[in-house]
């Protein structure tokens, strides 16, 4: 088995697992990437019987991916789409990009974060990570909006860091505004394309790195997580 074939099969198996778990939007990403690799493998196969067998299998995966897309579209149209993700303690592979990056695209012009704990330095850095991801994946992004609570122990430092981030986003012609709410409890990311990502712990899902020169210090897919849940909805 070639490396490309192994990668394609692994992606398609993962797509089926996600499909069976009703994590449909994640499944669609894996179906798409897996099929792209698998069709390249099919073209390289010389044996006619094997090629025919592989083409049939590819057709089955393609048919299923189209049906999954129909399920997503129908549930979105009916306002019933819901996807539940449980993040286990100490698990990895849960960067913001992995969790909800697939919803960040050219339809998004505004992103709103409601999280009462964008206060401490590492929490503001998490918000910075979200901003970077949105800037990278949303070419038409015009505004980031934050609703959080004041840091009672260091309000000036909190404001200073948000102002610095505001200036940085401004250089990309993206507006950042924020407001403080003493009664805020919800933790969610809202996209003006209709997707809502409810975060059980807000953005603060990562454990501290285990050292200064360790894997996961920068790449958050390699960082261990706290136990939490993520629920994804769509609202027209």
pLDDT at 16: 97
Give the pLDDT score at 47.
86
Following CA atoms 127, 106, 200, 120 in sequence, which dihedral angle do they give, to the nearest 10 degrees?
0
CA gap 121, 151 in Å, rounded: 10
- Contact of 127 with 168, CB cutoff 8 Å: no
> What are φ and ψ of residue 97, in 5° steps?
-65, -45
Helix (H, G, I), strand (E, B) or coil at 232: strand
Provide the pLDDT for residue 3. 87
Instruction: Render each residue's pLDDT in the chain as its tens digit; 236 residues.
Output: 788 889 999 999 999 999 999 999 999 999 999 999 999 988 888 888 888 999 999 999 999 999 999 999 999 999 889 999 999 999 999 999 999 999 999 999 999 999 999 999 999 999 999 999 999 999 999 999 999 999 999 999 999 999 999 999 999 999 999 999 999 988 999 999 999 999 999 999 999 999 999 999 999 999 999 999 999 999 87
Give the pLDDT score at 2. Answer: 82
Three-state SS at 200: coil
């Amino acid at each position: 088995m070639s490396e490309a074939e192994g990668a394609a099969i692994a992606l398609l198996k993962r797509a089926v697992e996600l499909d069976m778990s009703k994590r449909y939007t994640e499944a669609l990403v894996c179906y798409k990437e897996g099929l792209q690799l698998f069709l390249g493998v099919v073209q390289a196969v010389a044996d006619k019987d094997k090629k025919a067998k592989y083409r049939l299998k590819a057709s089955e995966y393609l048919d299923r991916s189209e049906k999954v897309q129909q399920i997503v579209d129908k549930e979105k149209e009916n306002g019933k789409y819901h996807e539940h993700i449980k993040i286990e303690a100490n698990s990895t592979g849960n960067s913001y990009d992995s969790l909800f990056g697939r919803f960040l695209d050219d339809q998004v012009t505004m992103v709103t974060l409601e999280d009462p704990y964008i206060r401490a330095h590492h929490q503001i850095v998490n918000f910075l990570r979200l901003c970077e991801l949105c800037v990278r994946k949303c070419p038409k992004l015009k505004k980031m909006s934050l609703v959080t609570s004041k840091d009672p122990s260091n309000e000036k430092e909190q404001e200073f860091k948000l102002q610095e981030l505001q200036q940085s986003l401004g250089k990309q012609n993206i507006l950042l505004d924020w407001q403080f709410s003493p009664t805020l409890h919800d933790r969610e990311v809202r996209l003006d394309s209709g997707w809502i990502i409810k975060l059980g712990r807000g953005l603060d899902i990562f454990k501290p790195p285990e050292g200064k020169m360790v894997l996961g210090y920068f790449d958050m897919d390699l960082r261990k997580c706290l136990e939490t849940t993520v629920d994804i909805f769509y609202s027209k």
